[in-house]
Amino acid sequence: MTIEVRGLTRRYGDVVAVDDLSFDVLPGTVTGFLGPNGAGKSTTMRMVLGLDRPTAGSARVNGRAFAELRAPLREVGALLDPGAVHPGRTGRAHLRVAARTNGIPTARVDEVLAQVGLERAARRRIKGYSLGMKQRLGIAGALLGDPGVLLFDEPINGLDLDGVRWIRGLLRSLADEGRTVLVSSHLMSEVQQTADRVVVIGRGRLIADTTTGELMRGLGARVVRVRTPEADALLEALRGHRVARAGVDELHVSESSSAEVGALAHAAGVPLHHLSELEQSLEEAYLALTGDAVEFAGHG
């Protein structure tokens, strides 16, 4: 099952939240959905789930609009807002209501509660849950119908370190089972470890749709870090290369290799105290892509 977004647009008066957006989310992959605050990520997910109506374009799951799915919870699971639950219900009661209204056996409720680690809190009222517990309950709701397509909006928020490691493994295992997984997050380190592909948007428009590795390599990911007590002499030897001074004795050389820099230093008789290749992180690649698309930027 795939998610297909074609020409998707959503306007609120004069504000364009999503602007002619097109991309696919494929089975067997974790796709990271990235963008600054206000980029349109949550609005896009809401339109995929039929919660918001597009001004133009379409969002389909396996070729159909969400409203056309006969058993939606069995085909699509989602976590958008972990706080959108009745606080007076217990966690188990919340899931039982969802199961009954979607024709899902109640035995499945206990299965997903165990899967997300909430067995001991199942009979506690949700108003006493922490944010991390509500996240786990929301994930349990998304998994309830054993769907082939899953959407998670910032699922790591509120989770402790153990929870972060758990959700990382869960997302990976769901994709390895052949499911389609779309997850938005502001934690680039987690996306880098988990996502196979990334869709990056800014101001509602598509900026990039590629694999995680290609995104980093495509922005000149490799930088050679070199330290020497004769930095000025090495600068002269590297004339014609892209070099940035990072300190009194440290240079960063772009679009080159450590072997090339080392050979040039040797030929010039420049001693080196350190030579290594730094690989650009997803966070650096993301910031380079979205710098002009940030709507709410603070100043130091």
The better pLDDT of the pair 213, 161 is held by 161
Question: For 3-216, CATH number?
Answer: 3.40.50.300
pTM beyond cutoff 0.85: no
Query: Mean pLDDT across the stretch 216-245?
Result: 86
Which neighbouring-strand residues pair with 76?
Answer: 149
CA dist 34 and 42 (Å) reads: 10
Residue 54 in this model has a pLDDT that exceeds 80: yes
pLDDT above 80 for 19: yes
Q: What pLDDT, in 10s, does the model give residues 24-49?
A: 999 999 999 999 888 999 999 999 99
Contact 296, 37 (CB under 8 A): yes
Span 56-110, pLDDT tens digits: 999 999 999 999 998 899 999 999 999 899 999 999 999 999 999 999 999 999 9
Chain segment 271-290, per-residue pLDDT in tens: 999 999 876 677 777 777 77
The pLDDT tens digits of the residues spanning 140-187 come to 999 999 999 999 999 998 889 999 999 999 999 999 999 999 999 888
Q: Hey, do 3-216 and 222-279 end up sharing a CATH topology, with the first three levels equal?
A: no
Q: What distance in Å separates the CA atoms of residue 246 and residue 242, rounded to the nearest whole number?
A: 13
How many other C-beta atoms lie within 10 A of the C-beta of residue 22? 13
Query: Regarding predicted confidence, which is higher, 297 or 84?
Result: 84
Q: Where are the domains of the chain?
A: 3-216, 222-279
Average pLDDT of every residue of the chain: 91
What does the pLDDT read at residue 257?
Answer: 87
- Within 8 A by CB and 6+ apart from 262, the residues are 272, 275
What is the CATH topology of the domain spanning 222-279?
Alpha-Beta Plaits (3.30.70)
Flag the least confident range among 97-101, 213-217, 232-236: 213-217
